[in-house]
């Protein structure tokens, strides 16, 4: 990708407006039988929501409060179940501008530029010791980075000592993110 493509992406991100969920504070309306599965699929009453436009719409009114996920409107607030992360980062593009920039695309067509406000965080799964990489998206909501995207990050990464320990790191917008210890 080129600097011109980066400028176009940043313009698209700036132009995309989301509902002001952070300003809405309705009373809790109850639980709704809606679930976001580990693979990013959305289910309502056990049936998969197959209309991508509907999923994209719901994704804009999500909020995360005190460890719980809600769909929020100005007058209603319903708790939903989330198996892992609410989004899936299923693509990454590396742009070599003045500083390296990583642009992630999610399963709901959001574009997120990794940096100070959108950090890459890698946890280790307690059950199988495998890395579980995430990208901070907005307001406590995260995207699980797919295995293939994580492998791209690893391919682009380089070793570096952080706080006396060798890590495999990647940079975006001048921020350094550890992908794991070496």
Task: Tell me the residue range of the domain where 163 lies.
Answer: 87-181
Last residue of a domain, one of 27, 48, 82: 82
Together in a domain, 72 and 99: no
Task: List the CATH number of the domain containing 7.
Answer: 3.10.540.10
Tell me the two tokens of residue 83.
């198996």
Q: Could you tell me if 73 and 49 lie in one domain? A: yes
**Res. 101: pLDDT tops 80:** yes
Q: pTM of this prediction?
A: 0.90
Do residue 73 and residue 126 come from a single domain? no
Instruction: Answer whether 159's CB lies under 8 Å from 178's CB.
Output: no
Residues 9 and 94 in one domain: no
Provide the pLDDT for residue 8: 66
Token pair, residue 179, equals: 């992908």
Higher pLDDT, 99 or 30: 30
Distance CA 122, CA 125 (A): 10
* Same structural domain, 78 and 91: no
Three-class secondary structure of residue 77 per DSSP: strand
H helix intervals, 60-176: 147-156
How high is the mean pLDDT of the chain? 92
Question: Are 75 and 50 in the same domain?
Answer: yes
Same domain, 106 and 157: yes
- Residues facing residue 111 across a β-bridge: 105
According to the model, what pLDDT value does residue 96 have? Answer: 81
Same domain, 127 and 168: yes
pLDDT band (50, 70, 90) for residue 14: low
Structural domains of the chain, count: 2
Q: Which two tokens stand for residue 140?
A: 């406590």
Percent of the chain with pLDDT over 90: 79
> Could you tell me which of 124, 140, 147, 134 has the C-alpha nearest to residue 177?
134
Residue at which a domain ends, from 37, 62, 82: 82
On the question of pLDDT at 93 being above 60, the answer is: yes
pLDDT at 7: 65
Residue 115 has a pLDDT of: 96
pLDDT top residue among 39 and 126: 39
Strand partners, 175: 172
Same domain, 93 and 172: yes
Q: Are residues 64 and 119 in the same domain?
A: no
| 73, 108: one domain | no
């Amino acid at each position: 990708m080129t600097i011109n493509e980066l400028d176009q992406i940043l313009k698209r991100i700036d132009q995309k407006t989301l509902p002001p969920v952070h300003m809405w504070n309705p009373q809790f309306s109850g639980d709704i039988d809606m679930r976001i599965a580990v693979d990013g699929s959305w289910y309502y009453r056990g049936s998969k929501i197959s209309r991508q436009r509907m999923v994209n719409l719901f994704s804009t009114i999500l909020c995360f409060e005190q460890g719980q996920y809600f769909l929020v409107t100005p007058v209603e607030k319903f708790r939903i179940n989330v198996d892992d992360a609410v989004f899936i980062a299923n693509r990454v593009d590396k742009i070599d501008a003045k500083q390296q920039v990583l642009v992630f695309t999610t399963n709901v067509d959001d574009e997120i530029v990794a940096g100070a406000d959108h950090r890459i965080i890698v946890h280790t799964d307690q059950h199988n010791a495998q890395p579980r990489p995430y990208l901070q998206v907005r307001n406590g909501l995260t995207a699980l980075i797919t295995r293939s995207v994580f492998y791209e990050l690893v391919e682009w990464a380089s070793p570096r000592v952080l706080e006396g320990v060798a890590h495999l790191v990647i940079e975006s917008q001048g921020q350094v993110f550890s992908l794991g210890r070496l």
